[in-house]
Each structure stands twice: as structure tokens, then as C-alpha cells.
Amino acid sequence: MVVLFHSSPEELLSTTTERMVDMFGHVITQKALLKIIDKSGPDLHVIRCRSEYLGEVLCALTLIGTEHLAVVLDISGTLRSLRTRAMVKKMSLRLP
Amino acid sequence: MRVVQPVLRFKDLLGLKSIGIEYGTGSTDSIDGEENVIHLLKSKPSASTKFRYLVISENYHDLVSKDVDLVEITAIDQQFYEMLKRSSSKKLGIEIAVSWLRKTNGQKLAKNIALIKSIHNFTEKYGNQLVLTSGASSIFEMVSGRCFDALLELCDIKPETYWNSLNNWLEHKIGMRCYICDT
């Protein structure tokens, strides 16, 4: 999925994991296999998770907290189409 | 939201059909005719308007007020359910903002999820409508359609049923008003 997040990919991964553990526990969080795949511009991040736990990951990203805010812009089953669409979204948002 | 145009652009990216914007917080003249924008007003206008609107309140004691369409909920007691029962004929919207849920930690969040489920069951029973909103004050706080679906599923609410009933509720609330048309 493509996520708009105003910080580093490591920060995105750690805050999402933290919130997910808080909401669903360590077992679900480990099973979800959250991973940073790519960075498309300074604020657009591509992250991957197991499709069975997509709902839990989306909930954690939506409720990530008030300090850092993450907006899920796109979801796809393949990285190729996600990268192409991320470029279009980047242009629409006029991000550097 | 202070700047309206980026919000409208962002709305399409997030797969949202319509959005509610607090009236008078930005340059609203340019979006008066926008079909997919619903203005959120604190009080009912004295005359007909060009734009579609809902009257909102942050105080749930306004449930009994005949002008209010949507009441934002941040805390609940038994009195709330009593008032909701009494106001069933008005088809009120009960708003829960994601921005409010974000502020809570795991334990409190779990309670709030149960609360949303309970309010949803209650609104269904008494003819009112649960309205889950982002409560955003900037585009970075906006929530995509797919994330709303995930939150609804977390609350054991079927997204399709929810969106259909929300659509019907909006059509009922907005459609029953008179608007000024540009000819």
C-alpha cells in the first residue's frame, strides 16, 4: 500500500507496529509481516503486509496517533501497479 | 478546513464521493455549487441557500433540538440513550470522529470500539444513523474509503450496509430542503 507519512520509513514502521501491538497484540502483528518496500518521494512510502491482516494494518495506520499521521492513498496486490499509481498520485498531490 | 481546493483534490485520491466541510472556515464561495460537498453549519440559515448543508452540534443535549441534523459524540452516559430514544422520529445522525479515536490508547480504544458498535445497534433500532467521520482539520488527517471500511469491520458493522444506509439518510436530510438554483 502507498502511505503518505511526514517522517522516515523507519518511523512509519515503528509507530505502525507499536499501534498494531497496542490494538491487536504481538501475535497478529508478527503474522502481518509489515515491511517497508520503497520510498516514492519524501513523504510517500510503499509498505507491504500479508493480505489476511490487511484490515488490522489499515486500522492501525488510521489510528496511528496524533503525533504522526498516516494517510493510506492506495492498495494493490502487485508492487508494479502500485508503483505506477503512486507516481500518478504523487503528481496529483504535487509532491516534490 | 482552511484551504478547500486541496481538500477536494485529495477527496478524489482517497476514493470518497462526498465530504462535509465546516462552513466559513475557508474560501467557500468557489465550492457553493459543488455537488459532492456538504456544508456543516452550527445553526440553521434563516433563508434558502445555494449549497447543500447539515446542521451540526457538539453537544448531545441538542438531540432534542428540532434544527440539528448531526450530533458529535465524545462522551456518553445513560442519559444519551434515553435522549436518543426520544428523538427517534427525527432520524438524527450520531457522529463519531476518527480524530477522537486517535487520541485514545489501547484499552480506551477498545471501549470506544464497543461503544460505536452499541451506538450503531441503537441507531438502527430507533431509526437514527451512525456517521463515522474523519474529524480532519488538515488533509493529513483525512481517512480513505478503504480505511473507513476496515474500521467498520473492526466494529462488526458491514461496510456495504453502513454506506447504503448513510447514503439514504443523507438523501433524506438534504433532499427535504429548498435550495436556490442558478438559472
Q: Which of B10, B102, B110 sits opposite A66 (nearest CB)?
A: B102
| 8 Å CB contact of B151 and A65 | no
Q: In whole angstroms, give the CA distance from residue A30 to residue A20.
A: 10
Map grid coordinates 441534523 to a residue: B69
Task: Locate the chain B residue with the closest alpha carbon to A5.
Answer: B140
* Residue B153 CB contacts under 8 Å (≥ 6 apart), including other chains: A55, B159
Assess if residue B28 is contained within a domain: yes
Q: What is the ipTM of this complex?
A: 0.89
Residue B117 grid cell: 458498535
Q: What are phi and psi of A72, to 5 degrees?
A: -80, 115
Assess if residue B8 is contained within a domain: yes
Assess if residue B95 is contained within a domain: yes
Which positions of chain B have pLDDT values less than 70? 1-3, 24-34, 64, 76-78, 87-89, 182-183
Counting one residue from chain A and one from chain B, the pairs whose CB atoms sit within 8 A come to 58
What pLDDT does residue B1 have? Answer: 45
Establish how many alpha carbons lie within 13 A of residue B12's alpha carbon, considering only the half-sphere containing its beta carbon: 8
Supply the range of the domain harboring residue B147: 4-175
| 8 Å CB contact of B101 and A61 | no
Assess if residue B87 is contained within a domain: yes
Can you give the CATH number for the domain in which B155 is found? 3.20.20.140
Q: Which of A4, A6, A75 sits opposite B146 (nearest CB)?
A: A75
Instruction: Quote the pTM value.
Output: 0.87
* Overall domain count for chain B: 1
Instruction: Please choose, from the candidates B11, B21, B44, B144, the residue with its C-alpha nearest in 3D space to the C-alpha of residue A75.
Output: B144
Coil vs helix vs strand at A3: strand
The size of chain B, in residues, is 183
Q: If interface means Cβ-Cβ distance under 8 Å, which residues of chain B face chain A?
A: 9-10, 13-14, 98-99, 101-103, 105-106, 109-110, 139-144, 146-147, 150-151, 153-154
Assess if residue B181 is contained within a domain: no
Assess if residue B143 is contained within a domain: yes
CATH class entry, domain A2-93: alpha beta
Q: Which of A54, A59, A73 sits opposite B144 (nearest CB)?
A: A73
Spell out the domain ranges in chain A.
Answer: 2-93
Kind of pairing between the strands at A44-48 and A35-39: antiparallel
Q: In whole angstroms, give the CA distance from residue B120 to residue B112.
A: 12
Assess if residue B107 is contained within a domain: yes
Q: Which of B9, B105, B151 sits opposite A62 (nearest CB)?
A: B151
Question: Tens digit of pLDDT per residue, chain A (96 long)?
Answer: 989 898 888 999 999 999 999 999 999 999 999 999 888 777 889 999 999 999 999 999 999 987 888 999 989 988 888 888 877 777 776 654
